[in-house]
Structure 1
Amino acid sequence: LLPEYLKKFYRELLRNFKVLQDQVTDNDKYRVTYTRKEFQKLSTYYLQEAEWSHQRHKPSFGDQITLTAMSSVIPLLCVSGTVGMGYVTKETFEWVASRTTAIVASAKIGRFMNDIAAMKRGKNKGDVASSVECYMNEHKVTMEVAIDKIDSLVEDEWRTLNQAHFEDHKLFPVVEQVVNLTASMASFYDERKDAYTFPTLLQDTIESLFVNPVP
């Protein structure tokens, strides 16, 4: 049986999907179905992470990033962020939802940046081993060496993501949205900070954009 807090969460989740479905046209309701399926996938990734943590499993670097890139929420954001793009064709929407190399690259970039920032701030108890820790364990290197390597992998994934611009011109609007989403991660993780976990780190940036008068 589910605990009461999960029941409340589930009921609210269903309500949100109902609201979303009511806001799109009949021809676009399939997009909400894709979003719901993406959320279900995310739940299975979280469950796998919880099992690893409970079992104190130390995954290989490859296994770790394969799972945690998907649990980064970025694939879900790429799908849900496309729901309201009325001019997007069904084929284009399916491209976003199909785990293409561009979507995976975006997810890996987010995961790598988050893991590097987490090493700087310290892990929470119960967190599964990060990509940095897995690389250190697998290759017997220091944290600094592992971070340098993962920084280079971030650059590799950016090349993969940018290449998607040239694959099919019909995909450009959606690819551009994925690229912009990925680029926004720099606001959260610039200078190794973790403003995703600690949003107050963005306070000065937000105030300079929307509160303080222009000099």
Structure 2
Amino acid sequence: MDGLPDYLKSVVKFTFDTFQEFEREVGLELGGSYSLKATIEECKRVMRNNLKLAKWASTGHLPSFDEYLDVAGVEIAIYFTLAGILMGMENICKKEAYEWLKSRDKLVRALTEKTRLLNDMHGFEDDMSRGYVTNSINCYKKQYGVTEEEAFRKLHQMVADLDRMMNEEFLKPINVPHHVLKVLIVDTLRAVNVSYEKDDEFTRPGDHLKNCIKSMYIGL
């Protein structure tokens, strides 16, 4: 830590402290050590892919569209989020659920790709204003030689296709209890839909998201 700038020291210390708290909370539970280790591994994957994406962005590199989704899909931290949710749940089929998550099941990948595409589309103007060109729109434009308008149209269609795919996958047998899948996938998908319903309110929360959050705590 001594070689890190001060702002990163704070981030690293917060991360270490958080996982130490997790260890105290879940370490003694049945399967707790397994869930903690699995969540830490997902956190490491986010950090590695975040670094790779940052290197691409610093040079204005535009990889192929599929390669971008592979890296930026992990960087958007859905896998990490789902692992963290599992860690906080009761010990119900926990190991099987983590193994299913690590397999990068079609259902989870669809949720991840949808989140990445929505984030890129709603945050496109802001990204470009900062000179941040490495995003799904520009990668798609470069690979397929289309206009920005056409790229947006194609990505919106991809999001619709991913929604249909997730509906189809839910009807198939999965080695994870349905009430666990509801919390992991359905509830996370709801949060994604609300966050990107009108704008990139995940990055810059506006009145729409604030009112949605308030409604969960204030009686209607």
TM-score, length-normalised on structure 2? Answer: 0.86
The verdict on how the C-alpha distance between 1:188 and 1:102 changes in structure 2, with shifts beyond 3 A counting, is same
Asked whether the 8 Å contact 2:73–2:116 carries over to 1, the reply is yes
What amino acid sits opposite 1:19 in the alignment? E
| Counterpart in the other structure of 1:194 | 200
Question: 1:104, CA displacement in angstroms?
Answer: 1.3
Asked whether the 8 Å contact 1:79–1:97 carries over to 2, the reply is no
Please state whether the residue corresponding to 2:206 is helix, strand or coil: helix
Q: Determine if the alignment matches structure 1 residue 111 to structure 2 residue 116.
A: yes
Please state whether the residue corresponding to 1:83 is helix, strand or coil: helix
Given candidates 190, 194, 197, the residue that maps to 1:183 is 190
What amino acid sits opposite 2:196 in the alignment? Y
Q: Determine if the alignment matches structure 1 residue 129 to structure 2 residue 134.
A: yes
Question: 1:126, CA displacement in angstroms?
Answer: 5.0
Question: 1:16, CA displacement in angstroms?
Answer: 0.7
Unpaired stretches in structure 1, ≥5 consecutive residues: none
Q: Determine if the alignment matches structure 1 residue 91 to structure 2 residue 93.
A: no
| Counterpart in the other structure of 2:42 | 38
The verdict on how the C-alpha distance between 1:120 and 1:167 changes in structure 2, with shifts beyond 3 A counting, is farther
Question: 1:116, CA displacement in angstroms?
Answer: 1.0
Question: 1:47, CA displacement in angstroms?
Answer: 0.7
Asked whether the 8 Å contact 1:69–1:111 carries over to 2, the reply is yes
**C-alpha distance in 2 between matches for 1:124 and 1:96:** 36
What amino acid sits opposite 1:34 in the alignment? A
Residues 1-215 of structure 1: matches in 2 within 5 Å?
1-24=3-26, 25-86=29-90, 87-123=92-128, 125=130, 127-165=132-170, 166-168=172-174, 170-176=176-182, 177-191=184-198, 193-201=199-207, 202-211=209-218, 214=220
> What's the C-alpha RMSD, in Å, of the aligned pairs?
2.1
Asked whether the 8 Å contact 2:73–2:113 carries over to 1, the reply is yes
**C-alpha distance in 1 between matches for 2:43 and 2:129:** 24
Please state whether the residue corresponding to 1:141 is helix, strand or coil: coil
The verdict on how the C-alpha distance between 1:35 and 1:209 changes in structure 2, with shifts beyond 3 A counting, is closer
**C-alpha distance in 2 between matches for 1:47 and 1:72:** 12
**C-alpha distance in 2 between matches for 1:208 and 1:12:** 30
**C-alpha distance in 1 between matches for 2:175 and 2:153:** 34
Question: 1:111, CA displacement in angstroms?
Answer: 0.5
Asked whether the 8 Å contact 2:35–2:94 carries over to 1, the reply is no
Say how many residue pairs are matched: 212
Unpaired stretches in structure 2, ≥5 consecutive residues: none
What amino acid sits opposite 1:200 in the alignment? G
Asked whether the 8 Å contact 1:161–1:179 carries over to 2, the reply is no
Question: 1:175, CA displacement in angstroms?
Answer: 2.4
Question: 1:208, CA displacement in angstroms?
Answer: 4.9
**C-alpha distance in 2 between matches for 1:209 and 1:172:** 24
Could you give the per-residue CA deviations for residues 111-142 of structure 1, whole angstroms, max 9, x where no partner exists? 01111101254535253521112112222222
What amino acid sits opposite 1:46 in the alignment? N
Deviates more, 1:116-125 or 1:19-28: 116-125
